[in-house]
Amino acid sequence: MVQRHLRDAKAITGLPHNLIEAHAAALAYAISSLYAVAVAMSAFLLFAGLGSRLSPRLAERCGERRAVALAVAAMVVLAAFYLAALALYALAVRLFP
């Protein structure tokens, strides 16, 4: 089916297949990049808002120093979890290509 669309695109535009394929690949890359930016910005705004909302309560409950220590510890644990998940993903990709 893709070959048929490429043949039709060449017939309509007169451009060679490799140029059409390159344009399609660049467009797909740009779209996936936009999705990645949208997800990253949404996550940043969500967690910044949650931190802003919950930090006064946490500081009031256990003191400012301990609240900062808890926040840093939570970031370290999340980063370690992310790195472990990334390592498992890389291993799975190598084992099951």
Count CB neighbours of 5 within 10 A: 11
Q: Between residues 16 and 46, which one has the greater pLDDT?
A: 46
**Contacts with 9 (C-beta within 8 Å, 6 or more apart), sequence order:** 15, 20
| pLDDT value at residue 26 | 64
List pLDDT tens digits, range 55-71. 899 889 999 899 899 98
Q: State how far the Cα of 76 lies from the Cα of 72, in Å rounded to an integer.
A: 6
| pLDDT value at residue 38 | 86
Q: Give 53's pLDDT tier (boundaries 50, 70, 90).
A: very high
**Helices and strands, counts by H and E, the chain:** 3, 0
Tokens of 73: 């510890």
| pLDDT value at residue 90 | 86
Q: State how far the Cα of 77 lies from the Cα of 80, in Å rounded to an integer.
A: 5
Dihedral sign from CA coordinates of 39, 40, 45, 46: positive
| pLDDT value at residue 58 | 87
pTM, 2 dp: 0.53
Task: Tell the residue number behind the tokens 């919950």, with chain if given.
Answer: 54
pLDDT reading at 13 higher than 80: no
Q: Give the start-to-end residue ranges of the domains of the chain.
A: 1-62, 63-97
